[in-house]
Structure 1
Amino acid sequence: MGLDLRKLEHLVAVAEEGGFTRAAARLHLSQQALSTSVRSLEREVGVPLLRREATGVTPLPAGQALIDDARVLHGAARAALHRARRLGRGEVPVLSIGHTPAVTTDEVTALVRTALAALPELRTEVHQLYPPRLAERLRDGELGLGLCRGMRPGGGLTRSTLGQDRLAVAVAAGHRFARREHVELAELAHERLVVWGDPGRSGYTDLLLDHCRNAGFEPDHLRNPIQGTAPVTAVVGTGHVALVTGPPGPAVGGRVQVVELRPALFAPLHALWPTHVTDEVRDAVLTAVGG
């Protein structure tokens, strides 16, 4: 049995809008036509996909599984269409790269420059995104490559490790660590650590907290209240500390000092890409940077 991509699109829209009325308006369909399409899909699958209540519509487990896979299918179809058009028109390929705030702009730039040394015709577009949006745009076929730290790939995505970057300690210029040549990890037991996501939901946060636990202490931590900024900026104007991948030395115009951390600890740089999407440019970039 083949799945009708248009019916899958209708199911996704109903789930995202929480009901048939808004979904029908979004899809420029009558509500009756949309309802008929979803009912037809349920008959084809053989099980109910949505829970219909007076307050709205929510996916049943089978429906949610189909919706997740539908996003992957639509992304692969969209990417295939763009690839065919590009090849047919002889256009220069452009690789759209997304990265989470845990990967700095400088780190992305260095990686792209490495790729350019091997691929001088490479053209890229770079976007910073939070992890959930990065995964969504990769699955939707809007991005060809994602860069992150510790982010779990989830369905439809493949992950590889591009390298390991040494962690350091960032503090405000007036902090007691600021004039030190190095800081021992155990000393952070008496500090408040700024992290970038909630434990259990952010793979990078879990990695950083686990480093502390392996050193014998449970870190006092808080989520960075200013999301989307470079990690090294998280301690500006505070007495807190942050684990960052930047080099030791002054940063943020001298308002932050990055200090060497001992013993040496590392954070992985991960690449993510859509599993079922063919992209020669992406593959060439991954080969050039060692992925």
Structure 2
Amino acid sequence: MTLDLYKLEHFIAVCEEGSFTRAAERLHLSQQALSSSVRALEREVGAPLLDRSGGKVSPRPAGESLLTDARVLSGLAHSALQRAIRVDAGDKDVLRIGHTPAVTVDEVTELIYTARESGVSVETEVNQRYPAELTEQLVYGEIDIGLCRAMSPTGGISRDVVTWQPLRVAVPSDHPLASAEKLTLLDLQDESIMVWGTPGNSGYTDFLVQQCRSAGFEPHIFRNPVQGTPPISAVVGTGHIAFVTARPGPAAGGRARVIELDQAARVPLGALTARHLENPSRDAFLRAATNTQLD
């Protein structure tokens, strides 16, 4: 028995949207055609895959199992097609790197320089991606490496720590703490700390909150309403501060300052990869970049 990739993509869309109506809109299909496709897949599998009894369609146990592998299979097919198109067009091998807003372009650039100094001369293409986009594009082979802080890998994705970086704090240049040469975490107990992810839904935010709790206080968290802005520039003109990994000193054209934290933890720089997709350039890059000192 073989599985129809189109049916698998239909099934994935329904699971991700939680609705046949929204999935049909996403796929540009009629709802009847989509429902028929998924039911045909259930007959092929020989088991019910979806629970349709509630207000939201959700995968049953057999569907959960199939969903993980379906994403991998769909990703393999998509990646193979894109690779064939690039080879036919004579395109050069380009390593496509995505990074979350918590990882700066400067940090990615330093990893690229390190890899090149080690003899990995592949061309690179770097773009910022939100976590959900990062995972999806990795699975479908649209990017090769996803750099993040503390994202948990999902089906078909693995995560390795490339390096650990010292945690520092960015403050606006007119902030009362801006004149300090060094701070402790406890010095931040009365400050409004800007984060990008919601506690409980962001591994990196949870990591930062835990650092504050370990120092003896419950942090005052403010979620940045302008997602995608780098942490250093995001604090400019606000009363907030933010945890960063940038080097200490003036930043954002002098409108902010990065300050050392005494006895601060080191934070991970992780690399997400789709290991079901072979990529020698990706593997060589990560070997060269791992344990790079970015402080």
Change (3 A) 1:140 1:230: same
Contact 2:99 2:127 in 1 (8 A): yes
Change (3 A) 1:91 1:225: closer
Other-structure match for 1:124: 124
Other-structure match for 2:59: 60
Other-structure match for 1:244: 244
Change (3 A) 1:173 1:8: same
124-133 or 19-28, which deviates more: 19-28
AA aligned opposite 1:194: M
71-80 or 221-230, which deviates more: 71-80
The 3-state SS of whatever aligns with 1:7 is helix
Change (3 A) 1:171 1:24: closer
- What do you get for the CA RMSD once the two structures are aligned? 2.4
Distance 1:155 1:100 in 2: 19
AA aligned opposite 1:19: F
Structure 1 residue 205: deviation in Å?
Answer: 0.6
Structure 1 residue 263: deviation in Å?
Answer: 1.3
Q: What TM-score does the superposition give when structure 2 sets the normalisation length?
A: 0.88
For structure 1, the 5+ residue unaligned runs are: none
AA aligned opposite 1:146: G
Other-structure match for 1:265: 265
Change (3 A) 1:169 1:32: closer
Structure 1 residue 8: deviation in Å?
Answer: 0.6
Q: Which whole-Å deviations, capped at 9, do the CAs of 1:170-204 have from their partners, x for residues lacking one? A: 11111111011001111111211111101111111
Q: Which whole-Å deviations, capped at 9, do the CAs of 1:11-46 have from their partners, x for residues lacking one? A: 234445632696288356x66554433222101222
The 3-state SS of whatever aligns with 2:200 is coil
Structure 1 residue 271: deviation in Å?
Answer: 0.5
Structure 1 residue 160: deviation in Å?
Answer: 0.6
Structure 1 residue 10: deviation in Å?
Answer: 2.3
Other-structure match for 1:288: 288
Contact 2:194 2:221 in 1 (8 A): yes
Other-structure match for 1:192: 192
Distance 2:31 2:227 in 1: 39
Contact 1:24 1:34 in 2 (8 A): no
Distance 2:116 2:246 in 1: 22
User: In the alignment, does 2:160 pair up with 1:160?
Assistant: yes
| Residue pairs, 1:1-291, within 5 angstroms | 1-15=1-15, 18-19=19-20, 23=24, 26=27, 33-52=33-52, 58-62=57-61, 63-84=63-84, 86=86, 91-119=91-119, 121-290=121-290
231-240 or 97-106, which deviates more: 231-240
For structure 2, the 5+ residue unaligned runs are: none
Structure 1 residue 238: deviation in Å?
Answer: 1.7
Change (3 A) 1:208 1:20: closer
Contact 1:200 1:206 in 2 (8 A): yes
Distance 2:133 2:268 in 1: 20
The 3-state SS of whatever aligns with 1:247 is coil
Contact 1:14 1:57 in 2 (8 A): no
AA aligned opposite 1:192: S
AA aligned opposite 1:60: P
Distance 2:10 2:193 in 1: 45
Distance 2:88 2:68 in 1: 31
Contact 1:15 1:57 in 2 (8 A): no
Contact 2:15 2:59 in 1 (8 A): no
Contact 1:158 1:273 in 2 (8 A): yes
The 3-state SS of whatever aligns with 1:11 is helix
Change (3 A) 1:41 1:209: same
AA aligned opposite 2:128: Q
Change (3 A) 1:70 1:241: same
Structure 1 residue 118: deviation in Å?
Answer: 3.0
Q: Which whole-Å deviations, capped at 9, do the CAs of 1:209-251 have from their partners, x for residues lacking one? A: 1111111111111111211011112321122221100111111
Contact 2:103 2:148 in 1 (8 A): yes
Distance 2:144 2:286 in 1: 11
